[in-house]
Structure 1
Amino acid sequence: MNNLDERINESLDILVENERLLGQELMLLLKSFIEEKTSVGFSFGKLCFWHYEAFSDGKNEDIYKVAAAIELLILSFDIIDDLQDKDSDYIWNKTPELSLNVALAMLIVASKAIDETSFKHKRAAIRLLEEYALKSINGQQLDLLNNCRDEDSYVQMITLKSGSLTAMGCLIGEMLAKGEISKEVEAYGKYIGIIQQIKNDIQSLKAWGPKNDLLNKRYSLPIIYLLSQKNDVSKSVASYYNDDIVTILDNNATENELTNGGAIRYAITMKNVYKFKALNYLENVAINELGKDFLQNLMR
């Protein structure tokens, strides 16, 4: 873990330890959930940190606390998402009823932590957190309904669900630094979330297991492309999605069509479209090289 990860992780530990309104059982579960996710890193907290660094004239150590609070909110969303999808083996899926209480507590603690910092514009930052969190929840609702079956509606959904959260991390850092936000940061912040979601869509189709979107009859850009093709494989997949009980998917043929029939290439092309859009906006933002490198890595 690099130094920034360590600082955010330390702040996360302190934030939780100092929350006296959490009962012992909630506290123990919360700590175990944080530990489960620590190895993944703190991308959303880093988005906040690097944008605060880019626009601030000074340094306020409370920025690590805000980054930790954002990571706590993101973890709560991840837990709720996993509980709804029932497709992960994280420890919170073992006790869903108790885990839901922990996720709810995380949401409150995250907002409370930002309010307890010394930043001049902390109330505006909390309003951003609330606004973009609600947008993401709207996107999650659309995702669960599974009705986004064309490119435009699907991109709109992932912009809300994923793009809102990455934009939130960037914008809170900018707001805390200068008391206002810019359209450039909001735009590439959203695009980063779209890029990450498309990468997840592609990854989901690489293994024929419980998380495979196609086997779960979920829609994603590669699957939308596949279903638009008028061939035997696409017709078989369409029948499978329409609950035709006599349809048995040929996994090999379907996987071959996804890989060699253009669906994966199409998704990669779409990812690159948003990457170039994001890079164009990033060119107009004065962020240091370390921060820029971090953002560009998220776009790959």
Structure 2
Amino acid sequence: MEKLQKKIGISMDEIVNTEKLIGGELRKVIYEFKEEKKKTGFPFGTLCIIHYKEYTDSFNEEIYLVAAAIELLILSSDILDDLQDKDTDYIWTKAPALSLNAVLAMLAIASKVISNSTFKHRSLALKIVNDYILLSINGQQLDLLNACQDESSYLNMIEQKSGSLTAMSCLVGFGLATGKISMQVEKYAKAIGVIQQIKNDFKDVSKWSSKNDLLNRKYSLPIIYLLSQNDENSVKIKKYYNKEAGINILDKPTLENVLLSKASIYILAIKNIYKNKSLPIIKSLISSEESKSYLINLMK
């Protein structure tokens, strides 16, 4: 998949550099953001291409441009997320007002790329993009409100916030190839997004830093689990979240111990539920062994 990701990066440069309605300064900012994004790869564009290749009868090279457009959409979503959460030090957090202009430009460019393509089913692809981006934004809104404080509502929120973006990426490729939307593809694609978000949640809460959800009194799946336990640590965390007098700090060694033992087992169990429901679908729908392996690896 390395060559594929390299091609997506080149295509991202192409669609930004050939957009005549933006000036040099804005173009430079978008390019810098794309270079920052390149460090983590282009998995969403890859998902788009995988599903297009799997189901198309005649390959259209423009799929690389569409995949690049998908990555611009994901990048714009990531930037908005980081600006709202204020818990990262990526380059786009240095000048938020300018970054918001870049986000708007990337959204418009991505839409133009898809609508100007020669794909027969480009209107379906645009509908998929619009619908699933709206679902993701709704999930982000719920996350910002910090209102999902139980397992069911939290999983529903990240299915919208993160699952919708992986579903969008897969379904755009599938839709361009077939002119249809597959609920089976949507199901395992959302599961991939949920698993990736759960992994990020656990990673964030395991690091004792300014981004730690526990220290910031935010709710995430491992924290919801810890709060559900009727033990000494659970009581302490509840008091901390309720800002009760005398509970201004948390015992780092004890909580790290609990996180690495109890919460990690719980997170693994939730991941396996999503994985076990998805594996049979992937194995039945994806014939390419390389693509199948890539999708399964995303659920580890």
In the other structure, the counterpart of 2:251 is: 250
The residue correspondences of 1:267-278 to structure 2 (distance < 5 A) are: 267-278=267-278
The residue correspondences of 1:279-290 to structure 2 (distance < 5 A) are: 279-290=279-290
Shift of 1:259: 2.0
In the other structure, the counterpart of 1:292 is: 292
Which moves more between the two structures, 187-196 or 201-210?
A: 201-210
Shift of 1:151: 0.5
In the other structure, the counterpart of 2:61 is: 61
How far apart in 2 are the matches of 1:227 and 1:130? 36
Residue 157, structure 1, aligned to residue 157, structure 2: yes
Which moves more between the two structures, 106-115 or 151-160?
A: 106-115
Shift of 1:246: 1.7
SS of residue matched to 1:283: helix
How far apart in 2 are the matches of 1:39 and 1:217? 30
Q: Please tell me whether the aligned partners of residues 69 and 114 of structure 1 are also in contact (alpha carbons under 8 angstroms).
A: yes
How far apart in 1 are the matches of 2:66 and 2:245? 51
Q: Please tell me whether the aligned partners of residues 158 and 194 of structure 2 are also in contact (alpha carbons under 8 angstroms).
A: yes
Letter in 2 for 1:150: D
SS of residue matched to 1:157: helix
In the other structure, the counterpart of 1:235 is: 235
Residue 14, structure 1, aligned to residue 10, structure 2: no
Per-residue displacement from partner, 1:84-134 (whole Å, max 9, x unpaired)? 001111001000111111111111111111111110000110000000000
Q: Please tell me whether the aligned partners of residues 184 and 284 of structure 1 are also in contact (alpha carbons under 8 angstroms).
A: no
The Cα RMSD (Å) is: 1.1
How far apart in 2 are the matches of 1:240 and 1:50? 46
Residue 42, structure 1, aligned to residue 45, structure 2: no
How far apart in 2 are the matches of 1:107 and 1:48? 17
In the other structure, the counterpart of 2:109 is: 109
In the other structure, the counterpart of 2:28 is: 28
In the other structure, the counterpart of 1:208 is: 208
Shift of 1:278: 1.2
SS of residue matched to 2:210: coil
In the other structure, the counterpart of 2:84 is: 84
In the other structure, the counterpart of 1:134 is: 134
Question: What percentage of aligned pairs have identical amino acids?
Answer: 54
How far apart in 2 are the matches of 1:72 and 1:286? 26
Shift of 1:43: 0.3
Per-residue displacement from partner, 1:163-203 (whole Å, max 9, x unpaired)? 00000000000000010121110100110000101111111
Q: Please tell me whether the aligned partners of residues 51 and 287 of structure 1 are also in contact (alpha carbons under 8 angstroms).
A: no
In the other structure, the counterpart of 2:71 is: 71
Letter in 1 for 2:120: K
In the other structure, the counterpart of 1:266 is: 266
Shift of 1:252: 1.1
SS of residue matched to 2:284: coil
Letter in 2 for 1:5: Q
How far apart in 1 are the matches of 2:237 and 2:127? 44
How far apart in 2 are the matches of 1:4 and 1:130? 25
Residue 183, structure 1, aligned to residue 183, structure 2: yes
Structure 1 residues without counterparts, runs of 5 or longer = none
Letter in 2 for 1:138: N
Q: Segments of 4+ in structure 1 off by > 3 A?
A: none
Letter in 1 for 2:215: L
Structure 2 residues without counterparts, runs of 5 or longer = none
SS of residue matched to 1:205: helix
In the other structure, the counterpart of 2:222 is: 222
Per-residue displacement from partner, 1:32-56 (whole Å, max 9, x unpaired)? 1111111211100000000000000
How far apart in 2 are the matches of 1:36 and 1:172? 25
Shift of 1:245: 4.3
Which moves more between the two structures, 73-82 or 198-207?
A: 198-207
